[in-house]
């Protein structure tokens, strides 16, 4: 199992409870908000409204997310998610690809970084903390022996390290509280840090 080491350079925020995010499927949006909070460009009213909805109806918290991947030849593929433009995936030249897009293990790092960014933005905004800048650098160590069929064992990351830099006027104490809150509630972080049942069926 991959270990995630999170480091940070300081400045924000106060402890705040942000609940999980609602499932998104066409025609099934449970909560909308007419007022947008402009701090950090985050609509925190929508998040707070959803949290309130889940407190009243706990079953709303059970969500399902979907993606579809189509092979495009060679090591190229495209992931389709909702109505967004397809996300291209490929392998570097050294691994036999054409380097037309990030490879899957790079996308894993990006998914974790994006998830953490959501957490920092949501929690900072809820606490009234302005973020001037937020950058997240991720790095993972991966041995290719198993992937290339040269050995048996773990084909995935041996470890993942994350460095978070936050620029804000908030105190170091508040930033540390924000950081701990985000790391403790990241859906992607939690997915990577524990064994998750995965079924891959041929249909």
Q: How confident is the model at residue 38 (pLDDT cuts 50, 70, 90)?
A: confident
Whether 101 and 95 have beta carbons less than 8 Å apart is answered as: no
**pLDDT, tens only, 163-188:** 999 999 999 999 999 999 999 999 99
Q: 201 is written with which tokens?
A: 């069926």
Q: What is the CATH number of the domain that holds 150?
A: 3.30.300.20
Strand segments (E) across 68-156: 68-71, 77-80, 87-89, 133-142
pLDDT value of residue 17:
33
Whether 163 and 8 have beta carbons less than 8 Å apart is answered as: yes
16, pLDDT greater than 60: no
Q: pTM of the entire structure?
A: 0.82
Q: 133 is written with which tokens?
A: 């800048």
Phi first, then psi, for residue 196 (nearest 5°) are -115, 125
15, pLDDT greater than 80: no
Whether 186 and 119 have beta carbons less than 8 Å apart is answered as: yes
Q: How confident is the model at residue 6 (pLDDT cuts 50, 70, 90)?
A: low
In a domain, 199, yes or no: no
In a domain, 155, yes or no: yes
In a domain, 71, yes or no: yes
In a domain, 98, yes or no: yes
In a domain, 23, yes or no: yes
In a domain, 10, yes or no: yes
User: Average pLDDT over the chain, rounded to whole?
Assistant: 86
pLDDT value of residue 137:
98
pLDDT value of residue 5:
52
Domain holding 151, by residue range, is 3-193
In a domain, 90, yes or no: yes
When divided into structural domains, the chain yields a total of 1
pLDDT value of residue 46:
92
In a domain, 201, yes or no: no
Alpha helices by DSSP H, 72-201: 104-126, 172-185, 187-193
């Amino acid at each position: 199992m991959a270990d995630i080491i999170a480091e940070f350079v300081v400045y924000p925020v106060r402890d705040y409870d942000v609940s999980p995010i609602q499932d998104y499927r066409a025609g099934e949006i449970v909560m909308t908000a007419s007022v947008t909070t402009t701090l950090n460009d985050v609509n925190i009213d929508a998040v707070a409204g959803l949290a309130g909805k889940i407190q009243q109806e706990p079953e709303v918290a059970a969500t399902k997310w979907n993606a579809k991947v189509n092979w495009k030849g060679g090591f190229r593929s495209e992931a389709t998610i909702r109505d967004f433009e397809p996300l291209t995936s490929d392998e570097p030249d050294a691994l036999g690809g054409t380097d037309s897009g990030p490879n899957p293990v790079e996308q894993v790092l990006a998914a974790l970084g994006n998830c953490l960014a959501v957490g920092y933005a949501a929690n900072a905004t809820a606490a009234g903390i302005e973020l001037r800048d937020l950058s997240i650098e991720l790095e993972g160590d991966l041995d290719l022996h198993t992937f290339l069929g040269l050995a048996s064992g773990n084909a995935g990351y041996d470890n993942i390290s994350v460095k978070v830099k936050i620029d804000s006027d908030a105190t170091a104490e508040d930033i540390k509280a924000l950081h701990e809150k985000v790391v403790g509630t990241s859906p992607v972080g939690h997915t990577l840090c524990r064994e998750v049942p995965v079924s891959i069926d041929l249909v």
